Amino acid sequence: MSGSDKLYIFDTTLRDGEQSPGASMTREEKVRIAKALEKMRVDIIEAGFPIASPGDFESVQAVARAVKDSTVCGLARAKDTDIDRAGEALKGANSARIHTFIATSPIHMQHKLRMSPDQVLEQAVKAVKRARQHTDNVEFSPEDAGRSELDFLCRVIEAVIDAGATTINIPDTVGYNIPVQFGELIRNLRERIPNADKAVFSVHCHNDLGLAVANSLSAVLNGARQVECTINGLGERAGNASLEEIVMAVRTRQDVFSCDTTLDTTQIVPCSRLVSGITGFPVQPNKAIVGANAFAHESGIHQDGVLKHRDTYEIMRAQDVGWSANRIVLGKHSGRNAFRTRLKELAIEFESEEELNEAFARFKDLADRKHEIYDEDLQALVTEAAAAMENERFKLVSLRVCSETGEVPLASVTLSVDGEEKSGSAEGSGPVDASFKAIETIVPSGTELLLYSVNNITSGTDAQGEVTVRLEKAGRVVNGQGADTDIVIASAKAYLSALNRLADPDSRAHPQLGDV
């Protein structure tokens, strides 16, 4: 595939995706996702915002060291301190990129930056030159480009390309644009800017009007050759353009698009499930490509047509994006080596024997209760084990719930709190409510429950239920996840997971320093 025919995929799940309320990820979780993205052959992985916090710096640094085949990118405002911090975090990368940005729309320049257009232009050029001191792979974004004045946008982009920017990213920061308008913007920029041929044009679209994917594809049709997107469309507010939808739209409609990605699309569904499990953001069943119903047919006419000829109602093969019949991989008689080998095939490796032992013990416990262990079970199990290794101040020891018709449910729980066992009980409107209230008698958190959701990890009556709990306290929002064949126990685990994140000083909400 020639360079002009390649569409570069820039994944920002670890940066913009993490800015979803409650989606903050640990360093180890970021590395796991980055390795999965690398296995999918994503071109550029935006690992984080190094200046945002020491934790973000360490995460970018860890991803830069772990990933060998993809370019690792760090985000930086158009400030020397930001850019130098990003350069330091990326030192260990095989291939590094610094992504710097400054707002160019009148509303942002006047009310946020309080800078004149000439000052913004000067700062943009200075930032790109500073970034070039760290790497020759520099991306520049005029924040809120979708609401910027075209003449000024052209001036800024021409200047930053002259300064050394190799990728120009045009963000629809607030999801304001519509496809025809956004496509014309890209075409106009490429036609009007004299040195446009010296940079790859990119787009970064938000989904506030549900048009992020449509806007991105319109841009590609008008010459953009990089799309910034996230797994499952994760991101702040209504999210970002969905990686899986962009990639498969271009791959499926090669009669329309003159470019294609080099991604291994069979890794899309496994990566989607990994991100969903780690962030606690479930994928809706009717989500394109990765939703549980994406390739399901209930209509008799549809079923008949698919059985006779798949192309009658399916424009893609489910196998091409990673869907397949659930394959039994392990059982109660499987040993440690088989367990480690299968996880390695899923791009999951352990840094220490202690981590392996913790995960293997949980696997054996699950195998005693669930005869058939699937890849999805293993992903959930490792996510839970990793969280326990990191910050498990509160641990479930035992839970007993009594719920019967006509009686008020009662829950009795025993927790390990900093190594000391404590017990409590409470009544509730249901078994889950009673369990949460029983936990609160031991750990009075003062939190507000914002979300409670349950999803089955696999099919079957013995499937594990995966529960997500979102708690808020004093402006901090955290997600907790728990999985078990018993939904009530999974719920208690999820609640404790969230409480552990609240209690962990390193598990902070992602700072909103700015966005593209």
Contacts of 75 (CB under 8 A, 6+ apart): 15, 46, 48, 49, 50, 86, 99, 100, 101, 516
Q: What phi, psi does 314 have (nearest 5°)?
A: -125, 125
Specify which residues 417 forms β-bridges with: 394, 420
- Provide the β-strand partners of residue 322: none
* Residues 431 and 488 sit within 8 Å (Cβ to Cβ): yes
Q: Any binding-site annotation on 204?
A: yes
Rounded CA gap, 117 and 105, in Å? 9
d(CA 10, CA 30) in angstroms, rounded, equals 16
d(CA 453, CA 296): 23
Is 151 marked as binding a ligand?
Answer: no
102: Cβ–Cβ under 8 A, 6 or more apart, which residues?
Answer: 77, 78, 113, 120, 123, 124, 127, 142, 143
Burial class (CB in 10 A: 0-12, 13-18, 19+), 184: middle
- Alpha carbon distance 379, 338 (integer Å): 15
3-state secondary structure of 285: coil
CA 439 from centre of chain: 30
Q: How far is the C-alpha of 52 from the C-alpha of 84, rounded, in Å?
A: 13
208 annotated among ligand-binding-site residues: no
Among residues 96, 168, 169, the alpha carbon closest in space to that of 132 is found at: 96
311 is in an annotated binding site: no
Binding residues are 16, 204, 206, 240
Binding residues for Mn(2+) are 16, 204, 206, 240
